[in-house]
Amino acid sequence: MTSSISLNIKNLQEAVTESHIDNLKPMITAAHNTLHNRCGAGNEFLGWLDLPTNYDKAELERVKVAAKRIQENSKVLIVIGIGGSYLGARAVIEAMTGPFFNSMDEDKRKVPAVYFAGNNISSTYLSQLIQLIDGKDFAINVISKSGTTTEPAIAFRIFKEIIEKKYGKEEAKKRIFITTDKAKGALKKLADTERYETFIIPDDIGGRFSVLTPVGLLPIAVAGINIDELLQGARNGRENFSNEDVHRNICYKYAAVRHLLYERGKTTEILVNYEPCLQYFGEWFKQLYGESQGKDGKGIFPASVNFSTDLHSMGQYIQDGMRNIFETIINVEEPQINLSIKEDEENVDGLNFLVGKTIDFVNKRAMEGTALAHVEGGVPNIVINMKALNPKALGELIYFFEKSCAIGGYLLGINPFDQEGVEAYKKNMFALLGKPGYEELQRSLTERLGD
């Protein structure tokens, strides 16, 4: 099947060659077999692997119906969640609609604005969001496996009170949508008691792999994005990236190249975009790789930048700083919208030599020139080309990164699907807040803080 994306590794030069990749083939094959035979660490969380073909079709239809209902009765959807419960949805929505989506006039946008809460503990952020939606009809989508994660739980408590006061408890129930565990947890219990419409977070899919489940699909559908095409793109990826031969599978080749660069001391990967709408895709990428591969003292540090913007800030460090960096560039070959540069008689800015050229032409030359400069400065470059930015291509790109991340984790010899390190801050926070059951830890932390 023709792929919407391609991989270009020519700017790795001598850092990684085809012969280096050949030498890694046995490890790639072993990782492939471990993943597909479901016999490796974390194998109970491989539901995402076949999700593009094995999803619950009846639930998908319910997602579409709920999205339509929200579109008809609300001007705003508040999505409450943190980490994988919101990053994937936000990444897709911003990639498809652009950074100004929520600011557009309602008659031009034609669907609700989508705002996110519960991803921080800032009272200022919550207060400003509450002010923003004042007087507007709104709905809430709460996404949490347990319902007790501090950040979203606080946000839901606040917005639940507001929505019930605005509409009354019975009407509010029709505007609250819960995405949670199918059988257990505080949020599931509340949803059953209050009879909120509920969607399932599959047991075998971790949060950072959940964007193509109702976790991401409901907010994405509310924003007017075609979720059938998104899933079709993921199905294409599942087929295109199924071959165990690293030379015929660009997903595996990307995993192999990352691993080889890591072995050569390149311990930081910067995901680069030249389209501002992909900023939150970079945030999703950072969680996917950071939580999956950063453990046991191993792993590449994932970062992201927006070029050419960050060339005027981070560019100096990338060009001349520590040589532990490599870059992965997402190149969108055809922009969603293009503009041409017109002649100015006075030519004060000296840009008349560009008359008739498109802004995307200038952007592509900036990308090529920057890549050459960075490679000459000792920063290897990988390029992922996308023919166009649309739901189908984005679905394939999501699957590309998810599977490559899993293969890369097995190459490192770690479990790519757990995240025990995330729990450390939570325990300390609960203790310092005085949560029952954490008294001993609270005393220890208090002594360390000198209180």
- Active-site option among 291, 327, 396, 402: 291
Beta bridge pairs of residue 114? 77
Residue 295 annotated to the active site: no
Contact call for residues 284 and 91 (beta carbons, < 8 A): yes
Q: Which amino acid belongs to residue 357?
A: K
Other C-beta atoms closer than 10 Å to the C-beta of 202 total: 20
Q: How far apart are CA 411 and CA 405, in angstroms?
A: 10
How many residues does the structure list for the chain? 451
Contact call for residues 9 and 253 (beta carbons, < 8 A): yes
Tally of helices (H runs) and strands (E runs) in the chain: 18, 10
Q: How far apart are CA 175 and CA 204, in angstroms?
A: 28
CA 40 to chain centre: 24
Query: Coil, helix or strand for 45?
Result: helix
Residue 286 annotated to the active site: no
Q: How far apart are CA 59 and CA 69, in angstroms?
A: 15
What lies within 8 Å, CB to CB, of 370 at 6+ separation is 307, 308, 311, 315
Looking at the annotation, which residues are catalytic?
A: 291, 426
